[in-house]
C-alpha cells in the first residue's frame, strides 16, 4: 500500500509510544506500506515536531524525522485546484495524487470530505489503517 501520513499521525506516534498512531508508523517503518512525501511534507514533520509545546527530546525527534525522510519515496506534486476544508492539507492531497497513493492516513478525517473518496483517495484513521494491514 502506498500512502501519505498526515502530520497529526506523526505527532501522535511520538506522543503515545505504543498507541494506534505509533502502530501505524511502525508498520510503515517496517516496510508494510510505502510512505510518500515531498519536501514540503518533510519540512512540516520537522517543524511541527520541533515545537516546544511537545517537548520531544531533540535527538529522538531528529532520528525519527530523519528516518521518515530516508524511507519516504519522494514525490513531486503539482498544484491541486480543489477547495479543501483545511488549506493546510493541500500539500498532503497533492502528494497523494502525485505519488499514486492508495490512501492518506490522518486523525482528522473531517478535513477530507467526503471521507471515503476525496478525489478518489481512501481516507483512513490510524486504527483503520492498522486493522486493514493486519487483515
116: pLDDT strictly greater than 70: no
Per-residue pLDDT of 45-66, as tens digits, reads 999 999 999 999 999 999 999 9
CA diameter of the chain = 39
pTM of the model: 0.92
The predicted pLDDT at position 20 comes to 97
CB 4 within 8 A of CB 36: yes
Q: Which residues contact 130 (CB under 8 A, 6 or more apart)?
A: 20, 23, 24, 27
Give alpha helix (H) positions in the chain: 7-15, 20-29, 39-49, 58-71, 90-99, 126-134
Please count the structural domains in the chain: 1
**Cα(127)–Cα(129) distance, rounded to whole angstroms?**
5
Measured distance CA(54)–CA(14) in Å, rounded = 9
Q: What is the structure's pLDDT at 5?
A: 98
Q: Do the Cβ atoms of 35 and 5 come closer than 8 Å?
A: yes
What is the span of the domain harbouring residue 56?
A: 2-134
- State the CATH number of the domain containing residue 117: 3.40.50.1010
* pLDDT-derived band at 42, boundaries 50, 70, 90: very high
Amino acid at each position: 500500500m502506498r500512502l501519505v501520513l498526515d502530520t497529526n499521525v506523526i505527532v501522535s506516534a511520538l506522543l503515545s509510544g505504543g498507541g494506534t498512531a505509533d502502530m501505524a508508523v511502525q508498520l510503515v517503518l517496517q516496510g508494510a506500506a510505502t510512505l510518500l512525501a515531498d519536501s514540503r511534507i518533510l519540512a512540516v514533520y520537522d517543524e511541527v515536531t520541533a515545537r516546544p509545546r511537545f517537548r520531544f527530546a531533540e535527538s529522538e525527534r531528529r532520528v525519527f524525522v530523519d528516518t521518515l525522510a530516508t524511507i519516504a519515496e519522494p514525490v513531486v506534486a503539482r498544484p491541486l485546484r480543489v477547495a479543501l476544508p483545511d488549506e493546510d492539507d493541500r500539500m498532503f492531497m497533492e502528494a497523494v495524487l502525485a505519488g499514486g497513493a492508495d490512501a492518506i492516513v490522518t486523525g482528522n478525517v473531517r478535513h477530507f470530505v467526503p471521507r471515503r473518496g476525496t478525489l478518489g483517495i481512501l481516507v483512513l484513521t490510524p486504527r483503520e489503517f492498522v486493522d486493514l494491514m493486519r487483515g
